[in-house]
């Protein structure tokens, strides 16, 4: 059976598909958040060195990973939009940016809360933290640049270029703890495996999966609003059942 991959690259068809998918992602995200937090705060044992303080990783690590994943996806959509001139790609990129910025902010914030009691400092200009802060600024810059240009198609192109160029920062964040001396510790989850306790791993990966589902649900909701706003003058929008009241 041949699948027409391009069918859902049109805002007209994607709008309906997204509407059907959102509840599934939202409900499973809520369930997984509950399970992940339960394992993380009740089942997982305390850490030998940090005691109970280490439990910040169940929020901090998934948030940091999401902030980097989402940036790469945003840059990917931005590139697709620039190269193929598809409307939906640019809308997806703008829909991802606020969620990515939120995760970057959570990552920096929880890191600071943990850093004060553990390291003895809220903030240190080391390579890992500085490059993550730059990631937050890239997200905010993308949103601001897009908002500052009135013509949406021109705004898409300008912001897309910023997103693509900024993607150089993501590998720098990831490898910063390897390339330089930093206060931030090295990677616990490596491609070669991890030395982490099993319950801690389960909690962290459940939370990561929950963050993914949450991000997808929120991005789809946001892209539906963007589609409605951008295509408000088209006939298919006026023919939507929710418009006829």
Partner 1 sequence: MKPRQKRFVFIAVAVAAVAVAVGLVLYALRGNVNLYFTPTQVFNNEVPQGRSFRIGGLVEEGSVKREKDGLTVNFVITDTNKKFPVTYKGILPDLFKEGKGVVAQGKVEADGVMHAEEVLAKHDENYMPPEAADALKKAEAANAASKAAAAPSVAVPVAK
Helix axes of 57-84 and 169-179: crossing angle, nearest 10 degrees? 140
**CB nearer to partner 1: pick between 30 and 126:** 126
Shortest separation between residue 200's beta carbon and partner 1, angstroms? 6
**CB nearer to partner 1: pick between 26 and 164:** 164
Measuring CA to CA, which residue among 233, 202, 211 is closest to residue 68? 211
Shortest separation between residue 146's beta carbon and partner 1, angstroms? 18
Shortest separation between residue 241's beta carbon and partner 1, angstroms? 36
- Residue 186 interacts with partner 1 (CB under 8 A): yes or no: yes
- Residue 101 interacts with partner 1 (CB under 8 A): yes or no: no
**CB nearer to partner 1: pick between 195 and 233:** 195
Site for partner 1 in 20-79 (CB under 8 A): 45-50, 53-54, 57, 79
Question: Between the CA of residue 123 and those of 118, 132, 236, what are the distances in Å?
Answer: 12, 12, 51
DSSP code of 86? Answer: -
- Residue 158 interacts with partner 1 (CB under 8 A): yes or no: no
**3-state DSSP assignment of residue 47:** strand
- Residue 4 interacts with partner 1 (CB under 8 A): yes or no: no
* d(C-alpha 22, C-alpha 220), whole Å: 7
Beta bridge partners of 193: 190
């Amino acid at each position: 059976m041949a699948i027409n991959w391009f069918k859902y690259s049109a805002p007209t068809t994607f709008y309906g598909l997204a509407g059907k998918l959102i509840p599934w992602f939202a409900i499973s995200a809520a369930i997984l958040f509950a399970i992940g937090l339960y394992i993380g705060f009740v089942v997982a044992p305390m850490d030998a060195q940090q005691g109970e303080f280490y439990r910040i990783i169940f929020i901090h690590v998934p948030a940091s990973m999401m902030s980097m994943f989402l940036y790469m996806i945003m840059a990917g959509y931005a590139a697709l939009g620039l190269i193929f001139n598809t409307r939906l790609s640019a809308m997806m990129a703008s829909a991802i940016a606020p969620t990515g910025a939120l995760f970057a902010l959570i990552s920096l914030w929880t890191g600071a809360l943990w850093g004060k009691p553990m390291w003895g400092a809220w903030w240190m200009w080391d390579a890992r933290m500085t490059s993550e802060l730059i990631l937050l600024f890239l997200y905010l810059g993308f949103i601001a640049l897009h908002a500052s240009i009135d013509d949406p198609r021109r705004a898409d192109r300008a912001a897309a270029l910023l997103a693509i160029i900024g993607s150089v920062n993501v590998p720098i964040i990831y490898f910063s703890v390897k390339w330089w001396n930093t206060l931030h510790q090295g990677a616990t989850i490596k491609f070669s495996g991890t030395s982490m306790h099993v319950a801690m791993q389960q909690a962290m990966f459940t939370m990561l999966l929950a963050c993914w589902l949450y991000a997808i649900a929120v991005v789809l909701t946001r892209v539906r609003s963007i589609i409605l706003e951008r295509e408000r003058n088209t006939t298919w929008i006026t023919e939507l059942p929710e418009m006829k009241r």
